[in-house]
Amino acid sequence: MLTETAHAKINLALHVRRRREDGYHELETLFAFVDDGDRLTAAPADTDHLTTHGEFAGKIEDPFGNIVAKALSALPHGPGWAVDLEKRLPVAAGLGGGSADAGAVFRMVERAHGLPDDWRARAARLGADVPACVLSTTCIGTGTGTDLEPVESDLTGTPVLLVNPREAVPTGPVFKAWDGIDRGAMPGFGPTGSVRRIALEGRNDLEAPAIAICPTVADVLAALRTTDPFLARMSGSGATCFALYESEAQLHLAAEKLARERPDWWQMAGRLR
């Protein structure tokens, strides 16, 4: 029996630089990962089989077309695996939930059989952020997000609160609504740089188009900013937003405050890996 956490992905910064002729966008992003997320187990079986449960399992319309099943098909892993997916992360939420699930499958296959040399290409075919989710460590992503540079993070262990208004925001429409204006490069990671500096000086260029599509994102950000974080920002294309705190005590107070004020919102508390 193999077990793995599909770590929630957040974009500490996400700069959209231009639309590409192939329909994708040129990005500069700072990926970070939370120490919690979906949970997967796998056991040997005659054929591949996927079962799903958990709060958001009902949002997976076609379990056999799920990215977990596609990840299994993308890798040699023996006769078959029976995979159980506890879907704890909301869907279409800016947390890379499906990509994180695929990344967890890749790590389980790595532990059981090793990964093929071209695993990055296989992962990228499943989604632009899947290679980052396989690593699940802080890294800078460029190109479409598949060109990765792991970086040492001075934010490891930072308390983080994730909040989602339980409204799905599909990625495609948000990127399509981006105004096409290049607002400049992400701060560089050099001798005087740090992950904390990039996060604080960076931005998420998809916040405005996401808010235009889902105005509740602005309410989530406003609520998080009342809890005294040192950074509150939307992740990915939304609608999940995150807040980073200097202490565990601040995190717990913030989580309790929002749970009282907005019990209808989903939240997850953890630490950055």
Residue where a domain stops, chosen among 94, 118, 150: 150
Kindly state the average pLDDT of the residues 178-197: 86
The angle at the Cα of 161, spanning 254 to 226, to the nearest 5 degrees, equals: 40
Per the structure, the count of domains in the chain is: 2
Q: Please, which pLDDT band fits residue 157 given cuts at 50, 70 and 90?
A: very high
* In the predicted structure, residue 184 carries a pLDDT above the cut 80: yes
Q: Are residues 124 and 163 in the same domain?
A: no
Q: Are residues 114 and 7 in the same domain?
A: yes
For β-strands 81-86 and 49-53, DSSP reports them as parallel
Cβ-proximal residues to 57 (8 Å cutoff; 6+ apart), any chain: 85, 86, 87
According to the model, what pLDDT value does residue 192 have?
60
Q: Which structural domain range is residue 117 located in?
A: 2-150
According to the model, what pLDDT value does residue 188 have?
81
According to the model, what pLDDT value does residue 58 have?
87
* Contact assessment for residue 80 and residue 49, using Cβ atoms and an 8 Å cutoff: yes
Q: Are residues 206 and 130 in the same domain?
A: no
Query: 219-238 burial, b for 16+ CB within 10 Å, e for fewer?
Result: ebbebbeebebebbbbbbbb
Q: What would you report as the CA-atom Rg of the chain, rounded to the nearest whole angstrom?
A: 18
* Contact assessment for residue 43 and residue 112, using Cβ atoms and an 8 Å cutoff: no
CA–centroid distance for 90 within its chain? 11
How does pLDDT run across 142-153, given as a tens digit for each residue? 999 999 999 999
* In the predicted structure, residue 64 carries a pLDDT above the cut 90: no
Active site residues: 9, 129
Order the strands of the 266-271 sheet from edge to edge: 231-234, 241-244, 159-164, 266-271
Closest CA to 148 of 167, 169, 134: 134
Q: Are residues 192 and 80 in the same domain?
A: no
Q: Are residues 134 and 227 in the same domain?
A: no
How does pLDDT run across 9-55, given as a tens digit for each residue? 999 999 999 999 888 899 999 999 999 999 999 999 999 999 999 99
Q: Please, which pLDDT band fits residue 260 given cuts at 50, 70 and 90?
A: very high
Full-model pTM: 0.95
The angle at the Cα of 24, spanning 119 to 188, to the nearest 5 degrees, equals: 80
Kindly state the average pLDDT of the residues 88-110: 96
According to the model, what pLDDT value does residue 23 have?
84
Q: Are residues 126 and 188 in the same domain?
A: no
For β-strands 25-44 and 2-19, DSSP reports them as antiparallel
